[in-house]
Chain A
């Protein structure tokens, strides 16, 4: 797996892909895209990185356990809903900023919700794939590596 070309390409590809994923996330409200697809692209980038440079470096790059991303993502989604509640309206009522930003359009709680989705999707995908890959290497080498 450790091919030179792949690893070098990945190093350059990774930031591009991550930027693309965020782009997808942000424009999702107006054009095809959104948290789900964005999250999957980001996850794909990191999986690719893991394939090219090893799981350990992918984990290092990520910095935190992917499971934490899931929890934080869920929390973000809930908070976005709660904001409506706290402002005296119904749960998940959309709240919008008055200014319009380039690319994104208006900032609002539905967008925050989508960010939550984005994080959960990254977390879930990485948790599953990393665990499977680890399992793979474990059963291949027969050794039991630490998490």
Chain B
């Protein structure tokens, strides 16, 4: 199954990079979102895949029984998702404000600070 997920990650990165290189303000952000998804899935996969069991300790046990998924990558991905959300939300609103201010969503038109 890892190979399938590796392909999914690759696909997300390919799509993300393609969108990242577009001239459109929004597409660029879509690209970043796709890349973010890819990165999250990648970290998740790095804990190796253990189907089924969540890392929960049964009520009357002191530690988890049998095979369980690696909780650390989950925690990392969770944090990364939330942080990513904050940054993406900010970037989206920024893009909207930029559009309102510059009246264009074409990045090639947005070069005033460097010329």
In the assembled complex, the Cα of A54 lies from the Cα of B27 at a distance in Å of: 32
| Contact (Cβ within 8 A) B93 A132 | yes
10 cross-chain CB contacts under 8 A: A30-B56, A31-B56, A32-B54, A32-B56, A36-B78, A36-B82, A124-B86, A128-B89, A128-B93, A132-B93
Mark each residue of chain A from 111 to 147: 1 if its CB lies under 8 Å from any CB of chain B, else 0: 0000000000000100010001000000000000000
User: Which residues from chain B contact A31 at a C-beta distance below 8 Å?
Assistant: 56
Q: In which size bucket is the chain A interface?
A: under 10
Q: Determine how close the nearest CB of chain B comes to the CB of A120; give it in whole angstroms.
A: 10
Question: Which residues of the other chain, B, contact A36 by a CB distance below 8 angstroms?
Answer: 78, 82
A132 to B93, CA, bound (A): 9
The A-contacting residues of B in range 40-80, CB under 8 angstroms, are 54, 56, 78
Chain B residues near A32: list those with CB within 8 A: 54, 56
8 tightest Cβ-Cβ pairs between the two chains A and B: A128-B89, A36-B82, A31-B56, A32-B54, A36-B78, A132-B93, A124-B86, A32-B56
Query: In chain B between 64 and 115, which residues have their CB closer than 8 angstroms to a CB of chain A?
Result: 78, 82, 86, 89, 93
A36 to B78 CA separation, bound complex (whole angstroms): 10
